Structure 1
Amino acid sequence: MSLRRQHYRILGTVQGVGFRPFVYRHATENALTGNVLNDANGVAIEVQGTPGQLAAFEDAMRNQLPPLAKVDHLSIEEHPVNRDEAQFTILESSGKQDAQVALATDKASCDDCLNDIRNPDSRYFNYPFTNCTNCGPRYTIIRDLPYDRPNTAMAGFRMCPECAREYKDPLNRRYHAQPVSCPHCGPQLSWRKSNGQPIAVTDPLLHCCTQLAKGKIIAIKGLGGYHLMCDATSDLAVDTLRRRKRRPSKPLAVMVKDRASAEGLVKGTPEEWAMLCSQERPITLMRTLDSGALAPSVAPGIDRLGLFLPYTPIHQLLLERLERPLVATSANLSGEPVITELSQLVDKLGHVVDGILDHDRPILNACDDSVVQVVGGRPQWWRLARGVAPQTERLATQAGCTTLAVGAQQKNRLALAFGQRAITSPHIGDLDNLATEGYFEHTLSQLQRIYDLKVERLVTDLHPGYGSSQWAQNLARRRELPLLQVQHHHAHILAVMAEHQYTNKVLGFAFDGTGLGDDGQMWGGEVMLADTRGYTRLHYLKPFRLIGGEQAIKHPVRVALSLMFQHYSLEEVQASGWPQKFGIKDMALKNMHLMWQRGINAPYSSSMGRLFDAMACFLQLCRETDFDGQAGMLLEAAAEQCPDREVNLLSLPASIGPIIDTAPLVHQMMTLGHSKLDTATWARAFVNAVAQMMVSLMARYPDYPVVLSGGVMMNRCLLERLQATMGEHQARWLWPERTAVNDGSIAQGQLWYALNQE
């Protein structure tokens, strides 16, 4: 018999996802001998058999992967035959020298495990920590590599004989599922008062359901942190949560037990339903049905609902027992990371909750819920976290040194490149407080420990005031490390290019709220010809002053007044009647005009995001904001109500020169009060004017692919209008399907810049 022996090297997400039992099953089915093991880089396989047997095995490795596996690289080498070998075995994991393995992300409960918790004859019946190799926690419980139980949050839970038998059986779906446990040996739920004191109850989950049904606010410990949950159908419960958490209007996410329940609340496209029901279980933004099923205060003034399905047995059992939708918002103070420790919860939110459904499995790595919308059948990520991050990409060539990109101030994420790997962390948050700064450092130290890394080069934003930039500059000074700086909007464009592994020139539109430009001014309405070496600023929104600096971000009325002051005298603005509509008294108006005139705390900005804010103010939608992006969301919701998608009443001309002039728009706004057209029509007209300006600029540069990035590009109306009017430019549109469109992408753009300077 002719025998051959092959050595496989498989890289990617291949640990903690049932890959070794998958290999074992196909090797034994094909009567092959050899072995498989996890090592620092991924999976190594030795297989020996006839050419036909080896061909069948290779087909399985390439085309029949486990549900959670992702192969980035597969290589096969011929090795000498070992004629003394009699069987196929699974070897113990080897160490982590020069680790390159991809970290697996947390996944929602699979159907098999859900069937187990519903089956009275199963030993997992009603057990809220049931999982297998095809589902359950991964990143949130890992402490170190290799991904084996002693290196996870399950190290303190000794398996009972039955769990140990399943864990050691290569043909069982719980083989080497590190979180495997049962009611006899695994984590347990407990009920606690708001001060953290435990209260003995027969069934903590049932007690939690009873409290939620009474309208109570409950903190529930999940995979990557605690949620604050309440009855989403109760105005009183939702209003109580808002009042206690001091979150007056920001939309709240809602969790429902299954798709059938979701269909009573929202309508969606096939792609939206597929995203909602995917094993990543992100919060999916979908159009709200006017069914009256939810409390109006869940998402006031917004026509979209952030909806998601249960992703742990705890959530599934809770919703099946309660039979109603629940608000599920992250347990944190505004701007801080999600809370993972009971002591923190009691200290910071004890006054908010009426009770706590707790458990004793530690959360080693906080991970918030991911947020996505689908536009034109394509996903657009607003927050990349649980289920989809950390993100690991294989590089085409070796990184010259271990490089850390520290991202932006808002919606911060970290990105690391080493060997042939680039890893981007889950969402960290806004670096405006000590808690988030601490989470930033914890996330970095965790990735460094897991991969045994020492940073050799740093990349930051230009802005010297960003917490991430200051941290990196301090580290660079202490350790004498090279430090690169990348302009904010260039990084936005580079992030999309990185996803597509693109290095040549693109026509990039970077529209957002703010970002420091090369000239020291605040940018945000930028059209660039960019590549991995640099950029040319082709066009930009005509700069206007932000009266009061940061105050203008929270009070869009200041931006609206600034735009009027730019084109009209103080007397003309007073006579227009707009100050009265804005609720601005005469003395305050004069003071703001003086600040504008003399440039007192009134920096210039070319921000498209601020222009959207001003338009929302003109349309009486939003005078001051409660949360980031609120004015833009309200403007989008109004535009969605306009039946005439082609309305063309406003213009934002891009002249031959670099400046995109706002004068025609402002002149039209000054006479808006005399118009009989409704708010929805004007909102749609504004969005169309922005889209038309963008399409006209694309026509001037027909040879380049198009990149759209920045927070303004989260506006669904704008994207849909562009899709309808771009024509042949659609074929050259580099769409970001795995990259956040907002500042959550900045670190990836910074890293792509650094890698391409080598």
Structure 2
Amino acid sequence: MQGVGFRPFVHSLATRLGLSGHVGNDVHGVFLEVEGTTAAVERFLVSVTEQAPPLAVIERITTDELAACGSGSFEIVASEAAGTRGTLVSADSTTCADCLREMLDPHDRRFGHPFVNCTNCGPRFTIVRDIPYDRPLTTMSAFAMCARCESEYHDPADRRFHAQPVCCPDCGPRLRLHDAAGVVLPGDPLAGAVAALERGEIVAIKGLGGYHLAVDATNQDAAATLRKRKHREDKPFAVVVSGPERAEDLCVVGEDEQALLTSPRRPIVLLRARTGTALAAAVAPGNRRLGVMLPYTPLHHLLLRQLDTPIVLTSGNVADEPIAYTEQQARARLSGIVDVFLSHDRAIHMRTDDSVVRSFRGREMLLRRSRGYVPQPIPLAWDFPRHVLACGAELKNTFCVAKQHHAFVSHHIGDLENHETLASFAEGIEHFRRLFEVDPRLVAHDLHPEYLSTKYAQGLDDVELVGVQHHHAHIAACLVDNAESGPVLGVAFDGLGYGTDDTLWGGEFLLSDLVDFRRLAHLEPVAMPGATTAIRQPWRMAVAHLVSAYGQHLPAELDLLRRNEQQWPAVADLAARGVSAPPTSSAGRLFDAVAALLGVRHAINYEGQAAVELEQGTDLDERGSYPVTVPAGGEPLRVPGSDLVRAVVEDLRAGVAAPVIAARFHNGVADMIAEVCTRLRESTGVSTVALSGGVFQNMLLLERTTARLEAGDFRVLVHARVPTNDGGISLGQVAVAGARDRCDSAVLPR
């Protein structure tokens, strides 16, 4: 791993042990020669692993004995750029304690410097243009080191020895504050930004991987104005606080969550929100959870120390556009949103959003894998015979490149629904290909013919295309995430994915390994009246599920039907006749339907909103459960979601409270999954279950499903290192393409 201070560490260790020789970087990683007594060399090899720098990742050490040279010193030699690249690039890392102390010390020459860094912290991936990781190949090449920084850079005893982004107030980079028209504002930029936030204004702040939009998180008017200008009606904002104790003021923070908050990766951590805090209602309306992070750049630390209040820090974009990361983009896209820009002159080479995580049973679970994690690879137990590119899905897109035994999952790209995001997708692929010297011969893609990621793959020349079914990719990603190859019973529940029968799947039970799968069971298909309109308007799915459950005799007294009395007959007719109403087995659409039946959400403003709010409004103490009749035979089994819908309707008629109904529905789905898996174990002999798909972002469902499966003596695999949502699809596609290329299919007889 380059950019983690490994060469300076080796130099210091070798010198301390009285060894001579040299260390350097090449395209394969770190190479070194040490010469000395046998005891000293053996101690060196042990210490290299045990005392490695905090950001270092040592995968393996290979050694050869060489004839003694008789050199009298130990040196860091020039990097070698020739050959096939096998080296890794470090992710960006939060400001370390040593740098933070310097920045806050009035007697230190870096006092108040918003770009302080050393070999143990600071920007890496977002500033790297190419490898080897040396200053000329980063965006810091624009800044000539002053004499004192250069002296530190070349001093083996200094913490900044060969720290490529080393800088100070004398040699830059520098902050600047300007208004929406680009006019530079007088005075100290940091103080000006603080004053703007205190006045309730919206400030665009240039971070590590792009611009953020910031407001005082306790100012209701400011937060509401940000929502209006950004066109983000309901989706919660993330909040940054100055330290762990301030996070405790806003949320319940367990030991595992504290570790996530304070890790060098500094992700947004989803925490259980406290009630009655000073936080503005517009920050996370109607949500039991709050996304919280701690400062991860010197600039963030300086801002929070002067403000002494939590601030909203959300991606600098409008609606579904990618995050702005150049000054030109920021001015063009954000000038209508923000009042002032707090910017600087260090260029960002690769835009990167913040990562989002939560804790599940003491284990980190990623919901968005980006800054702080990328481009650290997912190591695999087998090699790829050929280089592979996987283009991912349409929503929450990531791509993945793979070579040898590494899979490099990209940063979060977003939803491929506009030209800007598609351009970001293509730029990212070219950067990863260059950075890791990947020349893909195999290109994996989703089966959906209209996905822009699929069309990108099909537009490439001289490659072999590998179509991977969406839900198979979900389960394959879960397998790789857990370092397994199958077979497993894969439960893939999501919004929808294109099936091998050209219909829309989404409530799937698969017998799966990395090479192939069989569809053993699925939810009974239900019409989607108006097709994609039914995704944006969950009440349509409620009508469709009512038609499936009751036929022509719908319970007209339901509030949902009264509320939509002018439209629902036509929608019901579409569902009954299957006109402009493609069938889907989607579990996500079932959750949408129940949310609409309970009056939680009739139309959505962001993907998955109805299901999110249904979970948020659940009575956590209710243990009742709605039964589902699992059919006795047939392949695939068709599991009736209509049983759940009828039970919901009967409880609504009986006046049962919506939170209780929501809980019984969740419990019923968990029970149904466990019962179906038990039935499938009898026919397959497989007792390991992999849970994947966006529906399993629902922590209530995930916890109760896992508990029921484990109570039934199943071994359960869930996601950790890549998201269970479509952000993990590209890893699954890469794994399937590589496994098929190795031609070692396991145990899936037809």
Give the shorter-chain TM-score range.
over 0.9
Q: Of 309, 316, 328, which aligns to 1:324? A: 309
> 2:609 corresponds to which residue?
630
> 1:179 corresponds to which residue?
165
Return closer, same or farther for 1:35/1:227 CA change in 2, 3 Å cut-off. same
> 1:439 corresponds to which residue?
424
Partner secondary structure for residue 87 of structure 2? coil
TM-superposed CA distance for 1:651, in Å, is: 2.0
> 2:745 corresponds to which residue?
none
> 1:744 corresponds to which residue?
727
> 1:468 corresponds to which residue?
453
Letter in 2 for 1:300: P
Q: Of 35, 48, 57, which aligns to 2:22? A: 35
Q: Is residue 723–residue 730 contact of structure 1 (8 Å, CA) maintained in 2?
A: no
Letter in 2 for 1:431: L
Q: Of 292, 300, 315, which aligns to 1:307? A: 292
Letter in 2 for 1:606: S
Partner secondary structure for residue 554 of structure 2? helix
Letter in 2 for 1:54: V
TM-superposed CA distance for 1:652, in Å, is: 2.9
Partner secondary structure for residue 611 of structure 1? helix
Partner secondary structure for residue 523 of structure 1? strand
Letter in 2 for 1:403: V
Residues 513-540 of structure 1: CA distance to partner in whole angstroms, max 9, x if unpaired?
Answer: 0100011111000010001221111110
- The yes-or-no answer on 1:411 pairing with 2:390 is no
Partner secondary structure for residue 427 of structure 1? coil
Q: Is residue 94–residue 264 contact of structure 2 (8 Å, CA) maintained in 1?
A: yes
TM-superposed CA distance for 1:731, in Å, is: 6.8
Q: Is residue 282–residue 369 contact of structure 1 (8 Å, CA) maintained in 2?
A: yes
Q: Which stretch has the larger CA shift, 732-741 or 403-412?
A: 732-741
Matches within 5 A, 1:193-592: 193-201=179-187, 203-475=188-460, 479-570=461-552, 572-573=553-554, 575-581=556-562, 583-586=563-566, 588-592=567-571
- The yes-or-no answer on 1:715 pairing with 2:694 is no
Letter in 1 for 2:419: L
> 2:64 corresponds to which residue?
77
Residues 192-226 of structure 1: CA distance to partner in whole angstroms, max 9, x if unpaired?
Answer: 1012222222x100110011001001100010000
Partner secondary structure for residue 58 of structure 1? helix
CA distance in 1 between partners of 2:559 and 2:656 (Å): 17
Partner secondary structure for residue 77 of structure 1? coil
Partner secondary structure for residue 139 of structure 1? coil
Matches within 5 A, 1:675-690: 675-690=654-669
CA distance in 2 between partners of 1:248 and 1:231 (Å): 18
Matches within 5 A, 1:42-191: 42-82=29-69, 84-191=70-177
TM-superposed CA distance for 1:48, in Å, is: 1.4
CA distance in 2 between partners of 1:439 and 1:706 (Å): 35
Return closer, same or farther for 1:358/1:261 CA change in 2, 3 Å cut-off. same
Letter in 1 for 2:565: K
TM-superposed CA distance for 1:727, in Å, is: 2.8
TM-superposed CA distance for 1:499, in Å, is: 2.4
Q: Is residue 648–residue 665 contact of structure 2 (8 Å, CA) maintained in 1?
A: no
CA distance in 2 between partners of 1:217 and 1:730 (Å): 53
Q: Is residue 109–residue 131 contact of structure 1 (8 Å, CA) maintained in 2?
A: yes
- The yes-or-no answer on 1:653 pairing with 2:629 is yes
- % identity of equivalent residues: 40
CA distance in 2 between partners of 1:377 and 1:243 (Å): 37
TM-superposed CA distance for 1:710, in Å, is: 0.4
Q: Of 733, 736, 751, which aligns to 2:716? A: 733
Q: Is residue 231–residue 318 contact of structure 2 (8 Å, CA) maintained in 1?
A: no
Q: Is residue 222–residue 312 contact of structure 1 (8 Å, CA) maintained in 2?
A: yes
Q: Which stretch has the larger CA shift, 443-452 or 466-475?
A: 443-452
Q: Which ranges of structure 2 fall in alignment gaps of 5 or more residues?
A: 743-750
Q: Is residue 561–residue 568 contact of structure 2 (8 Å, CA) maintained in 1?
A: no
Q: Which stretch has the larger CA shift, 461-470 or 57-66?
A: 57-66
Q: Is residue 579–residue 589 contact of structure 1 (8 Å, CA) maintained in 2?
A: no
> 2:746 corresponds to which residue?
none
CA distance in 2 between partners of 1:517 and 1:680 (Å): 34
CA distance in 2 between partners of 1:651 and 1:299 (Å): 34
Residues 569-608 of structure 1: CA distance to partner in whole angstroms, max 9, x if unpaired?
Answer: 44x3263334444x2123x222212222322210000000
TM-superposed CA distance for 1:144, in Å, is: 0.5
Q: Which stretch has the larger CA shift, 453-462 or 603-612?
A: 453-462
Residues 71-122 of structure 1: CA distance to partner in whole angstroms, max 9, x if unpaired?
Answer: 112111222222x311111111111421111111001101111111110001
Residues 388-413 of structure 1: CA distance to partner in whole angstroms, max 9, x if unpaired?
Answer: 11231344444222211111111111
Letter in 1 for 2:27: A
TM-superposed CA distance for 1:655, in Å, is: 2.4
> 1:753 corresponds to which residue?
736
Q: Is residue 232–residue 238 contact of structure 1 (8 Å, CA) maintained in 2?
A: yes
Q: Is residue 96–residue 146 contact of structure 1 (8 Å, CA) maintained in 2?
A: no
CA distance in 2 between partners of 1:145 and 1:474 (Å): 28
Q: How many residues align?
A: 734
Q: Is residue 106–residue 140 contact of structure 1 (8 Å, CA) maintained in 2?
A: yes
Letter in 1 for 2:632: I
Matches within 5 A, 1:610-625: 610-625=589-604
Residues 222-241 of structure 1: CA distance to partner in whole angstroms, max 9, x if unpaired?
Answer: 10000000010011010111
Letter in 1 for 2:631: S
Letter in 2 for 1:502: E
Letter in 2 for 1:290: T
Q: Is residue 505–residue 704 contact of structure 1 (8 Å, CA) maintained in 2?
A: no
Partner secondary structure for residue 509 of structure 1? strand
Q: CA RMSD in A?
A: 1.5
Q: Of 643, 654, 669, which aligns to 2:621? A: 643
Q: Is residue 271–residue 377 contact of structure 1 (8 Å, CA) maintained in 2?
A: yes
TM-superposed CA distance for 1:425, in Å, is: 1.0
CA distance in 1 between partners of 2:427 and 2:113 (Å): 31
TM-superposed CA distance for 1:728, in Å, is: 5.3
Return closer, same or farther for 1:579/1:89 CA change in 2, 3 Å cut-off. closer
CA distance in 2 between partners of 1:399 and 1:109 (Å): 36
Q: Which ranges of structure 1 fall in alignment gaps of 5 or more residues?
A: 1-12
Q: Which stretch has the larger CA shift, 217-226 or 591-600?
A: 591-600
Letter in 2 for 1:705: T
Q: Which stretch has the larger CA shift, 662-671 or 421-430?
A: 662-671
Letter in 2 for 1:185: C
Letter in 1 for 2:690: V
CA distance in 2 between partners of 1:279 and 1:315 (Å): 15
> 1:6 corresponds to which residue?
none
TM-superposed CA distance for 1:726, in Å, is: 2.7
CA distance in 2 between partners of 1:286 and 1:480 (Å): 47
Q: Is residue 709–residue 716 contact of structure 2 (8 Å, CA) maintained in 1?
A: no
Letter in 2 for 1:412: N
- Give the TM-score normalised by structure 2: 0.96
CA distance in 1 between partners of 2:466 and 2:438 (Å): 19
CA distance in 2 between partners of 1:693 and 1:566 (Å): 18
Letter in 1 for 2:16: E
TM-superposed CA distance for 1:638, in Å, is: 1.2
> 1:20 corresponds to which residue?
7
Letter in 2 for 1:191: L
Partner secondary structure for residue 297 of structure 1? coil
TM-superposed CA distance for 1:699, in Å, is: 2.6
